[in-house]
Every structure is written in structure tokens, then in C-alpha cells.
Structure 1
Amino acid sequence: MENNRTEDDFYGQLIVLGYNGSETVPYQQNGQGGGPSSASSSQMISTRHTLRRKASPNGVIPSTKHYVVADPASSASMRDRRHFVSFVKSRTETLIQEYQADNFTDMFQIGRSTDKPIDVTVKDTRCTDADGEEMPADHRNVPGSKNCGGETSLIPPHRDSTISRFACRVLVNRTSYPVPRVFAAGFDNHRNICLGEKAPKWLTESGMDGLTTNGVLLWHPPSWGRLVHGSEAQNSTWCQWLEVSVRGAILTLRSSRSAKTRGHLLASECNVVRDGSLIDLCGVTLLFRTKEGLDNSPTTKELDERLASMNADRPQCPVGMNTLVIPRQRNAVAVKSATDQPYIYMTCGHVQGRHGWGEQPNKLKKCPICFKDGSIVRMCMGMEPAFYVGKDVTPTHAFNPCGHIANFETLDYWSKIPFPHEASAFKPVGAACPFCITLLDAKSPIVRIIFP
């Protein structure tokens, strides 16, 4: 992947949080109707999407033409296959805003659909706690598929997705200094974006604007790996989740994800995505990295070499005296019988193998080294290089409670980013591990690991 960044047509890369370096994952999508009777199909989708200059521009921008119709399906825009946005005011009145070709931009559409208009297909990777009903993304298998251990997955099908089939679009100007901008909603097979009667809509000097049902949220750091605190945070919108409209306006968050009243317009903010920007689509979060940002990040080869070096040291369990091997990925089903699997005692950080010593009530175990009671979790290397902060990738800490390990700078950065937690718990309140999207412990989000 690193060699592909040297080309001049490279705009940037979108990485889906939650898959720990896996380049493709199985995706099972219901039929177009989305109901129980719809046919389903299974395929592999990518978790890392490179945005490149297209052979010919396909961007569109609002035109000056707009009109009112009773039925959008009978509009001239639909008949002539022009791009347009339908603002439904009532059952008998819909405002049509036409869009026109823009020869200076490329358009990339993102959503749950696998239809042709979509460039980046995504699936749900919901934030969960360690005991939640949803499994972290890097643990999941499609029902009936084979997991890494060769066993049939027993994970039940996902509940209905909260991600729109045509969730958002990114427009990038076709110049030597590309500037990507994100807009809510994407055009469907009929080149239409439809904002229903209950969707927030308002009139601007340039025409109508609106928000999608569950919204498209943006989060920007001042620079990759840097956060703002104190007075700097109070006087800026850095490191705050904001919402973007269909026309690209930026607003404060609504009272709930699908509230019918929009937030406050922020005229001084723009919809440009930068190195480290996060895009949340209510069920999946994507990280945007620029070419310069990726060039200054570690490579997959460097992470593999560091992992091999750690395993070459042959760490031993102090109880079983067996050699431990740190994995680069976790199986969908825990292999409790594996004698070489390292575990972290999350209270003290000591690393050991799995053994029967120190069993306590409530699934706790007493550490045989320091005698502290706490939970244990399987250790796993963080293998997505785009998530790393800093060049020294030596793992020193682990996320609590999932057990993914990386360098301190990486864990410290991600442990301070609150994530939107679906439509039911809209306000961003908790940080999550970027490698698996497990919500972190509020009191001790990271733990220093201590090898025997």
C-alpha cells in the first residue's frame, strides 16, 4: 500500500475504524428493500480506500435551476437523468434543486450500498463495551462463514443498519493541491438525493439546504496526533464533533441524532477534511489521512518487524513457564486452549499466559506477581499503521478493556477522542479503541504493559 502513495494522482486515504489492518472484510447486504423478505448477497469489501484523480471529472455542484413539483418521479430532472436534490415539503409539494457538472472536481460517494454510484462501501462497526451485544469489529464474522480457526461462526446477524445506503460524498478539486470537502448524502441510482418531509431543511441565499436523517458528523484535530485543551479548546471548534449539511454547511450537533431541529450554523467553519479528520456515518467511522501524513506514519512492514522482534525475545508465562506469542490479529472465537496466547491483567498490566491460578468471583483473577484482583484480556498487536502517532512503534501500553497494544503516543491520542455512540446515545461521551471500536474504560482507558 505504501508504494501506491508516490503517484501524483493520490488525493488521500479513508480508513474504516475497527478492523486492525485487515484490508478486506466479508459484507452481507440485504436486498434493495432492506426488509426480511429481501434477498441477500455476500461479498468482500475493503476497509482502506484510496482516493485518486479520476480519468474524467464527475463532480457536480448546485445550479441556479430549481422548481416545485407534485411528484419528484415525474420531474424533468428525473426524465433527463440530471443530478438533483428533492426537498419534500408535503405530500403534494416537493422542491427540486438541480445540480450541474463541475469539470474541476472528482466526486467519491460513500454508503452502505454496493450499487454503482457508490465508490466506498461501508458496513456497521458500532462502538460497544466489552460485554455489549455487538462484538468489536475485528472479532466479527458473517453468520455461517468460517473464522480463523476453521470453525463456523455462531455470531447472529446484525440488527438493522443505521448507515444510509447513500450516506455522503467527498468532492476533491483536480489540481496539484487537492482539497477534499465532505457533503451529507449521496446521489442514488436515479441521481437523486431525497430529503423527506421530516428532514431538517432551511432556505439560504443560494437555495435550499438540509440534513440527512441520522446525520454526517465531522471531527478535526489541529494536526495529526495533537489535541486541544483548556482555553484553546473553549475558543475553537478543533476536536469537537460537528454536523455537515447537503450543501456542505457546518452546524453544531442536534439534540439527538435524528432530531427534526437543526443545530446552529457556524459560518466561520468549512467542510474541508484534513489529515486526521474523522467522518461518522452513524454506525461506522472513517479516518482521513493525507499523503504527507501517511508518509510520516509507520508502515505495515515496520509493524511486522517490531512484532517479530518482540516474539523473538520469547516472553514466558511466569506460571506455566511456556513461551508466549503475540498475535497480529484475533480470531472471531476466543481460543481459550491456546497455551501460547498472552493475556494482560488489566489492573496491574502484567502479561502472562492463560492458567487456572488465582480464579476469583465475578470473573476476576488474582495476579500471581502482584496479587491484585482484576480482569484479564487477550493481548493483540495494533496493526493499522494509519492509526499510529509518532515513529517509534514499540508497544508499551494496552487499551482497556480490549487488549490492543501500541506505543504510548498512539493510545494517549485515541483515548481522548469521544465517539458518537449511534442514534440512541448521540452525544459523544466515550473514547474507543480504533483497532476494534470497543469503548474504553472511563477511569483507566490505557494500561502500561509489563512483560515477565
Structure 2
Amino acid sequence: SPNPVMSSSSPDSRTDPGPDPVIYGQLFHDMYTERMKSRFVLRQREMPNGVRPSTVHPSYTPQAAKVVSSRLQHSISFKVTHKHTVVVEYVPDSNTDLFQIGRSTEPPIDFVVTGADPAAVSRFSCRIVCSRTPPYSARIYAAGFDDSNNIVLGEKAAKWRTADGHMDALTTNGVLVMNPGPGFGSSEPGLWKEVSVCGDIFTLRETRAAQKRGAKVKGESNLLVDGSLVDLCGVMLLWRSTEGLSLSPTDALLESYRQELNSERPQCPVGYYTLSFPSRPPQLDFLKPDQTPGLKLDPKQPWVYMRCGHVHGYLRWGNQCPMCRTNSVCVPLWLGLERGFYVDSEKPTHALAPCGHVCSQRTAEYWSHDVHGFQALCPFCLKPLDTQTPYVQLIFQTPY
């Protein structure tokens, strides 16, 4: 099936290209580098490629072996013991589209991701199955099919037989999902849970790779909703629905906000020169933070003292704000330009601490929540937020 990761249309020999394909939603990757996409659009495929479970082979019979060895058929193998393997056949499902995420660059993977510790991210981490008919629901499952269309759960993987006699399992490092409280942007974050290979939801294990699964959560499903976070052991993905994303600022609106900030001619209150937000932040590789200290900044770059919010140009003043004498670290300001991380379309007025990414107040408030043992991170760069002052309102001095 055609790869759906197309941000612009390509030349087409057809005179009538037909209606635009349905967009199921978008995934936003919070560890952008020049080597990786930060946004993945899930579009309805021209031809469905979904699969669904079918025949269960309770032992590794010749028929089961034939299924596993066929590159034309999908299957999941559960290695219960060294001598006992359960194989589940998967057959084509014309009602769904399948999308896969992982570290592998092989063709079965639609969205390639990696983290600070690449080995922690599975080559075939997870899969998302989208319904081709309204309301175009999207569901997430742990593990993805490899280039032989197989998923193999080894002896060390946590696995069990379900009440209806089928098999299920958790992957080695797990796929965690957190749905927002009453909605994306809510002040009440949800709970992190783990999704299984077959899509059931469980409480977290004692450790990430423990063989004993958590308790099954009744009334919960693997349905992705606007604002769902997916943790692939070092890589965080944010799911935005088409409807929810319509409430976020467009790229054009973010650019207009930047121009508006600059048109107000903010000044350095010490040097009395005009400050200006750059059109694009530098292409920092957040996987290699040690390469950024020597970064050369524009002399007009705005800086902020993180405890008080006073905006200055770069000063060799030390860690004390010259305006209010507050002791504080001073960092450069960057406008957060990935629209998917915004919870509203309001003007950028606050900076996340200590990285200096600028966004709207509600966006800063939302991402500053510690979520039940998981430290709050800046969505734009993955740096841990200050536990005491995770964000600050910016105070500009203008000539008016």
C-alpha cells in the first residue's frame, strides 16, 4: 500500500485526482532531529491493508509452520515454552488500515522513531489500526509485524491465556498509553496504562520489563482519543484527532504570532536595542545535547530570566536579573513551532522552564503536570521541566 507519510501531493497522471483522502489523525514526535520527521499523518490508504485474527493453532503443527513461513500471511507466535508455541493466523480485513511504528527502517514500518537510548525502542514497537468507515476510530496495539509479516513473542515475554482461550502478551519494554482527563488541555491528566499485543489495557508492571503483568483495567479500551500520549520506552508520541487539531494554531497563525511579537519591538532594558524572535530555531539534535553549548545565537535573540520572566538580550551579567535582582538562570527564548503540542490557539505568552520554549498559557500549564511518577517534560525538546517553576509569564519592555 502507498506510504501515507506524504506532506505534499506528488504529480499524478490522472486528470481527476478525486476527493482528498480521509485523515484519521496525526502523531507528533517530541524528539525532532534533522534525521526524523516530527509529524506523521495517518491518511486512508487507497487499498485497505488491515488484518484481523482468525485461526488459532494451539501447537506448532506443520500447518502452523506453513503460516509462519509464508511472507504473504500475517501471524503472531506465542512461545509458551521451548517446545510449545501457539500460532494465531491473521487474515485481511477490508474494513481497516494498518500503520506501524518502530525503530526499524524496513518497509513494514510507516513511522521510524528513535530515542536517546536507541536500543530501548523496539524495531517493531506498535501498530495502529484505523477503521475505514465513520467515525474512523484508531486503536493501538503493542508490537508490530516484521518484514516477514510475523510477530514473535519469546519465552521471556509476559504472556497468558485469556478467559476465552486465546493468547495475549506484553512486549519486553512495553507500550504505555495515557489518555487525557476530560479532554486534551484538561487540568486533570490521566493515568498511564499498558496496552497488550491484542489491545487489552492493564495497570503498569512493577518494572518496565517485568514478566508479571499488571491488573486488567475494566471499562478501558485501546481507542486513541485526542491528546493520547504513547510511551515507547524513551520515545513519546502525541495523538491528535483531526477535530482536535482544528482547535490548535495553524503553522501560519504561529508565524503571525512571531511577527506580531517582533512588530511590538521588544527591547533589551539594559542595552536598549530591539530584540527579535528568529523565524526558525536552530536544527538542534536533541539526541546529542552535548553538541549544543557552543551554539552561535543571533545577537537580537531574546533571553529570559526564568524565575521572574523579564526578557533581555544576552547579558554577561551572571545569574541575577538586572531589573528585579532575582537570582535566576537566563536562557534564550524559542517559539514552540510544532502546532500539535498546543492545546489552544491563544497567543504565546509563557516560557517553559528551563528550556525557554514559548507557548500559550494553557499549553504551558498542561505540559507542566507531573503525571503519576512520570516527570513533566517540555513537548518541544523533551527536557525535564523545573519542578518548582515549570513555566513563567514573559515580561517584555517595549518603546511605547
Place the TM-score, normalised by the shorter chain, in its bin: 0.7 to 0.9
CA drift of 1:91 comes to: 2.5
Match of 2:25, as an amino acid?
G
Asked if 1:176 corresponds to 2:128, the answer is: no
Match of 2:82 among 59, 80, 91: 91
Q: Residue 65 of structure 2 aligns with which residue?
A: 75
CA RMSD of aligned residues (A): 2.2
Match of 1:351, as an amino acid?
V
> Aligned with 1:190: secondary structure?
coil
- Cα separation, 1, equivalents of 2:29 and 2:333: 22
Q: Residue 209 of structure 2 aligns with which residue?
A: 258
Match of 1:181, as an amino acid?
R
User: 1:165-201, CA deviations, whole angstroms, 9 ceiling, x for partnerless residues?
Assistant: 1000001111032110000000001111111111110
**Is the 8 Å Cα contact of residues 78 and 85 (structure 2) preserved in structure 1?**
yes
**Is the 8 Å Cα contact of residues 277 and 335 (structure 2) preserved in structure 1?**
yes
Relative to 1, partners in 2 of residues 1:179 and 1:309: Cα closer, same or farther, differing over 3 Å?
A: same
- Cα separation, 1, equivalents of 2:296 and 2:91: 58
**Is the 8 Å Cα contact of residues 229 and 239 (structure 2) preserved in structure 1?**
yes
- Higher RCO structure, 1 or 2 (CA under 8 Å, sep 6+): 1
Unaligned runs of 5+ in 2: 1-5, 10-18, 285-291
Match of 1:342 among 293, 296, 302: 302
- Cα separation, 2, equivalents of 1:338 and 1:273: 41
User: 1:210-242, CA deviations, whole angstroms, 9 ceiling, x for partnerless residues?
Assistant: 0000100111112121133xxxxxxxxx71111
Asked if 1:370 corresponds to 2:324, the answer is: yes
Match of 1:381 among 332, 335, 349: 335
> Aligned with 1:366: secondary structure?
coil
CA drift of 1:399 comes to: 0.5
> Aligned with 1:46: secondary structure?
coil
CA drift of 1:293 comes to: 1.1
Q: Residue 164 of structure 1 aligns with which residue?
A: 122
Asked if 1:415 corresponds to 2:350, the answer is: no
- Cα separation, 2, equivalents of 1:339 and 1:55: 50
CA drift of 1:8 comes to: 5.0
- Cα separation, 2, equivalents of 1:287 and 1:60: 24
CA drift of 1:206 comes to: 4.7
Match of 1:103 among 94, 107, 129: 94
User: 1:376-426, CA deviations, whole angstroms, 9 ceiling, x for partnerless residues?
Assistant: 11111011111112222x2221101100011101101111153xxxxxxxx
**Is the 8 Å Cα contact of residues 70 and 94 (structure 1) preserved in structure 2?**
no
**Is the 8 Å Cα contact of residues 70 and 148 (structure 2) preserved in structure 1?**
no
Q: Residue 11 of structure 1 aligns with which residue?
A: 24
Relative to 1, partners in 2 of residues 1:284 and 1:51: Cα closer, same or farther, differing over 3 Å?
A: same
User: 1:116-148, CA deviations, whole angstroms, 9 ceiling, x for partnerless residues?
Assistant: 111111121x5xxxxxxxxxxxxxxxxxxxxxx
CA drift of 1:102 comes to: 1.3
- Cα separation, 1, equivalents of 2:221 and 2:30: 24
- Cα separation, 2, equivalents of 1:331 and 1:216: 29
- Cα separation, 2, equivalents of 1:417 and 1:292: 26
Q: Residue 13 of structure 2 aligns with which residue?
A: none
- Cα separation, 1, equivalents of 2:311 and 2:349: 12
Match of 1:61 among 49, 52, 55: 52
Asked if 1:226 corresponds to 2:234, the answer is: no
Q: Which runs of 4+ in 1 moved over 6 A?
A: 1-4
Asked if 1:215 corresponds to 2:215, the answer is: no
Unaligned runs of 5+ in 1: 20-24, 28-44, 127-158, 229-237, 360-364, 419-426
Q: Residue 330 of structure 1 aligns with which residue?
A: 282
**Is the 8 Å Cα contact of residues 161 and 167 (structure 2) preserved in structure 1?**
yes
Q: Residue 289 of structure 2 aligns with which residue?
A: none
- Cα separation, 1, equivalents of 2:56 and 2:359: 53
- Cα separation, 2, equivalents of 1:3 and 1:188: 28
Identical aligned residues as a percent: 44
> Aligned with 1:123: secondary structure?
coil
Match of 2:383 among 438, 442, 452: 438
> Aligned with 1:377: secondary structure?
strand
How many pairs were matched up? 371
Match of 1:391, as an amino acid?
S
- Cα separation, 2, equivalents of 1:428 and 1:102: 39
CA drift of 1:161 comes to: 2.5
Q: Residue 153 of structure 2 aligns with which residue?
A: 195
**TM-score of the superposition, structure 2-length normalised?**
0.87
Match of 1:308 among 259, 262, 266: 259
> Aligned with 1:68: secondary structure?
coil
**More moved, 57-66 vs 115-124:** 57-66
